[in-house]
Amino acid sequence: MTSLIADRIRAHLNTVTQLREARHGDPALADRVRSIKTYQAKRFEKSYADLLASPRYRAATRFFLDELYGPQEFGDRDSQFARVVPGLVRLFPHEVVETVEALGQLHALSEALDDTVARHLPGLPADAAGYVQAWQATGRAPAREQQIALTLTIGRALDGFTRSRWLRSSLRLMRVPAQAAGLSALQGFLESGFAAFGAMQGAGEFLRLVGERERALAAALFAADAQALAQGGAASAVVAQLP
C-alpha cells in the first residue's frame, strides 16, 4: 500500500512536470496558460469577495486561493515532493499522506485543464467572453467536476485534521524531522491549512458555499452554447459575475 500511494504521487508530479516542459518549449502556450491562471485567480477573488472579507472565513479562502487556485506554478514545492516521496510516505501519518496524494491529483488535473483551456483561448489577455468560449470548447465538464470534488475532499480532510488532537500533535512534532528530510514546503502547506481551517471552528458552511459556487459556474460554462448564455437565465446570470 505504501509503495502504491508513493507511485501515484510520483505519477501526478510527473504529469505536472511534463506539462511544464511542453510550455517551456512553446512560449505562446506558456503565455496563454499564465493568462488563464491570472484570470482564474481574479475570478476566485471576485466569486469569494464576501468570504475574503469575513473574519471567520478569510484565512481558509486565502488558503484556497494561494495554495489551490493561485497563478503560481508551485515549482519548488513540486520538485521537493518529487525528491522525497519515500520519506513523505514513511514519516507522515497515513491520513496526511492520503491528503497529499489527493493534492497531487488535483494539482495534475488543474494543470492539465489550464493547458487545455489555454489552447482554446481566442486571444490575450483572457477576459470573460474568451474564458467562457475556451471552457466550452474543451468539452471537459466531467474533469471540471472532478476538480471541484477533489478541492472539497482536501478541504474536508483538513477540517477533519483540525479535530484530531493526535494529528495536531503529530504535525507539530514533525516540524524538525520534516525540515531535516527536505519536506519543509509540505510541512508549511499542512500547517497553513491546519491554521486556516482550525480558525473556522467547523468548515461545513464554507465548503458548502465553495461547492455551490464552483458547480454553478461550471454549469454555466458548459451551457449548450454561447447563444443560450446570451438569451438570459441562470447560466447567463452566473457568467455575468465573471471579472
Per-residue confidence (pLDDT) for residue 195, from 0 to 100 = 87
* Residue 20: how many other CB atoms lie within 10 Å: 16
Arithmetic mean of pLDDT, 151-176: 83
- Phi/psi of residue 239, nearest 5 degrees: -65, -35
Per-residue confidence (pLDDT) for residue 69, from 0 to 100 = 73
Q: 156: which 3 cell numbers?
A: 474536508
The CA distance from 212 to 194, in Å, is 23
Specify the pTM: 0.89
The CA distance from 130 to 70, in Å, is 20
With b meaning 16 or more CB within 10 Å and e meaning fewer, what string describes 181-202?
bebebbbebbebbbebbbbbee
The contacts of residue 70 (CB under 8 Å, 6+ apart) are: 37, 41
Model pLDDT for residues 86-131, shown as the tens digit of each residue: 777 777 788 888 988 998 899 999 999 999 999 999 999 999 889 9
Task: Output 162 or 145, whichever has higher pLDDT.
Answer: 145
Domain coordinates in residue numbering, the chain: 2-239
The CA distance from 68 to 194, in Å, is 15
Model pLDDT for residues 170-185, shown as the tens digit of each residue: 777 777 777 776 777 7
Per-residue confidence (pLDDT) for residue 231, from 0 to 100 = 55
The CA distance from 51 to 155, in Å, is 15
Arithmetic mean of pLDDT, 148-173: 85
Per-residue confidence (pLDDT) for residue 185, from 0 to 100 = 75
Question: Please, are residues 144 and 222 in contact by the beta-carbon 8 Å criterion?
Answer: yes
